[in-house]
Structure 1
């Protein structure tokens, strides 16, 4: 498929002119899925010029017409669901059922933002100037450079493309080189839906050719990133010279509090299913579980029992519940985190080792108990199939431990006490909170974090406004 697609510039597919060949690896067996010629600096600059030329026309297109095009994109995506799920599974390693669900959530983004395109409301404010009025309107910010990660190779793309296009912006998107085919599937749907040439462009290739020309260009007015906190910090520095608008969804290290009155079975069922989805490579998944001492032993035992029964295997096998890690680097990182926990006296209850399976990057679902706060499994984002569990007795000390992290993307709690629910929501330092639920990611809800987990929101009525400038006009008649 990589030969048929490649780079998408000014409304057509073309071969990159760079010197570097991008090799795409199947993490389930470490085999090569295919190759494509990477983009050159000239390719990226052409994509940027294409987006710049297309902006005036796309900005002038009515919200109703933009909405119609995005609805057609959604229809094309629905028709491509089976093929897309297979590509996502092959590139990322996740089970086909999870890949299919990710594609469906991506469709939701286009449907939601198509509707939002028709509802870009301004407002009138009474002026203190005699005969005057204040008109507040919203306008597209301009050309957007978007960068996405590999762990959700289509929904991250959709979260950026859909609101940007709905707002009237044009886009140059650079996906992770480890999962380029998944992004290509969306761009082919854009092409089939009749998106005007230049409005959305895709470049795949090395950082020197696909990052630096975009981040340094004064043509780019906004940058949207899903990636690591370290990359976000670097991007802030790199974009300072041209004063770009930024929105970033960065690292996470989510806590989950299991209070004494929690529904234990519900907490376990939801926590295990969520923790090991996508092999734990999810920014909003819970890394650290704080369990009241009265439920601690039962929680650890129940978590380990459920985790040990998960079927780990190749993503295209129907019985697989957890696939591989994305690459050997993640596999080695997970081994280091588990080794650090053992060194600090934590107890590995289940898992804790590689799974040899046809050369793939598999690691057993791992549950670690009695984990000290300074262990990497709790202190940092583990981004893998590790559930780190510790106990608490008094809530005053608990909040110091829970909110002590620099990361603040998501946080969770399980309790049946209405008063405790309100207190917990208020005391969590986090961009998003789930109570008796891990379901945070939806097109209709604003998604994003605070502190070192980023800035800005994707989704909800807030999402489209990250791609718009506010204009005030004082009109006196």
Structure 2
């Protein structure tokens, strides 16, 4: 499916040959087999990509929104048509089950479609003046060249969530995909090519993450960095960008609480809690990371959850029957084990899982694990896991559980299960999170804003809010005779 060496640097409409002395290998995390080798770009390649984007900005930004939308419409169509093949590539490099991978690709296409529609809706304002001899206007303008840094856990949808609004707004882009998952990014850039994207509007550099990132931060032509990833890296980008007052759009880590009240539908709550926690084997920033269950329903809830977890199938993501694929690397497995060991040492009990996988699986697999008798001092209750470890803690008081849910520096997503409308509104208003799901654990959608508060981010992706990140506004005051 892949050549031994794959062109992965795209600048000004050209795929560059792989420098034989500067390459790195991409492996399948489920089998540890080498898939291909890609280019290891750095400062030189990034500077060339920025210069190409800067050159293309004038012509791209001068097009009407309707003209830009034609390319995005076509790209959305091509991606949706090719979802099965693109999903297989995603599974090979990232590991998630093929059904999830195909779903991600289709979702990525939906972001292209949404912002194709939004491209014509960057509205300005006519402000009624308090002075009769003035007319006041506000004009939206694309911010300029954008550096987009995307993660490995959603290597297709995270790219289109950033590039689609940026391109719709009239910006040009230099993309730095995750070093672990460049192959999906390559395919997306090829889709833009086929869709008729002008040269230089979209550029991509793979390789030395630090060198590429520092160049994007230091180059004056780059007006905005949009990043999805860990909170520590987000803080670094914000610090470095401050030298130029460069705008930084951050979607960072989460530590989502999931609260199950006594009136919840237990069957629905266990099924959705499982789907939230173990989607992509726990490697999502909005997956439930702390499970709080009312003490009165704790035993039946835990028993039902245990039964459903033990029915999950672990294996190679290309197998249609697989529910859980591998983690991305050994460090991810080690982190899960560290949190589990810490919890057990402090008194937690294993409900299911927590054992070494001894079958024929060769990759970075870790079993879905549920633990009970969890206390607040455990690492798993204070740090994002990004893996299949699910801690259950009981509660008896609504005020108490809301306090515990909010007692974190993170503020990305939270979930509650209840059939009580008054409680729903009361709790939602008190939860300190950018996203709250009520009897729903899949809140992300192209038409709505996605993003956190506190140390989980400072921006929104999706909806009309997502395009605003890539616009700046010029106030025009016109004096009249």
What TM-score results when the alignment is normalised by the length of structure 1?
0.98
Is residue 93–residue 314 contact of structure 1 (8 Å, CA) maintained in 2? yes
Q: How does 1:54-69 map to 2 (within 5 A)?
A: 54-69=56-71
Number of residue equivalences: 477
Of stretches 1-10 and 30-39 in structure 1, the one that deviates more from structure 2 is 1-10
Q: Which residue of 2 aligns with 1:438?
A: 441
Q: Distance in 2 between matches of 1:472 and 1:45?
A: 32
Residue aligning to 1:413: 416
Secondary structure of the corresponding residue to residue 465 of structure 2 = helix
- Residue equivalent to 2:74: 72
Q: Deviations over 1:221-265 (max 9, x none)?
A: 000000100000111111111111111110000001111111111
Tell me how far apart the structure 2 counterparts of residues 8 and 452 of structure 1 sit (CA, whole Å). Answer: 33
The match for 2:471 is: 468
The one-character-per-residue Cα deviations of 1:262-290 (angstroms, maximum 9, x if unpaired) are: 11111011111221110100000000011
8 Å contact kept, 1:41–1:208: no
Alignment partners' CA distance in 1, 2:183 and 2:414: 32
Partner of 1:234: 236
**Are 1:398 and 2:401 an aligned pair?**
yes
Q: Provide the C-alpha distance between the structure 1 equivalents of 2:404 and 2:210, rounded to a whole number of angstroms.
A: 40
Task: Give the conservation status (yes or no) of the 8 Å contact 1:369–1:388.
Answer: yes
> Which residue, out of 90, 97, 100, partners 2:99?
97
1:373 counterpart (357, 376, 390): 376
Shift of 1:353: 2.4
Q: 1:312 corresponds to which residue?
A: 314
- How far residue 209 of structure 1 moved from its aligned partner, in angstroms, is 3.1
C-alpha distance in 2, partners of 1:289/1:18? 49
Superposition map of 1:70-149 within 5 A: 70-149=72-151
1:145–1:171 Cα contact (<8 Å) kept: yes
In structure 2, the residue matched to 1:385 is 388
TM-superposed CA distance for 1:396, in Å, is 2.2
Root-mean-square deviation (CA, aligned residues, Å) is 1.2
Structure 2 residue runs of 5 or longer lacking an equivalent are none
Ranges of 4+ aligned residues in structure 1 off by more than 4 Å = 16-19
Measured in 1, the distance between the counterparts of 2:287 and 2:36 equals 31
- Please name the residue that 1:449 is paired with: 452
Distance 1:31 1:341 in 2: 33
Distance 1:417 1:20 in 2: 59
CA distance in 1, matches of 2:291, 2:320: 30
- Could you tell me how far 1:4 is from its partner in structure 2? 4.6
1:271 equivalent in structure 2? 273
Alignment of 1:210-289 (within 5 A): 210-289=212-291
Pairing partner for 2:337 from 332, 335, 338: 335
Alignment of 1:19-38 (within 5 A): 19-38=21-40
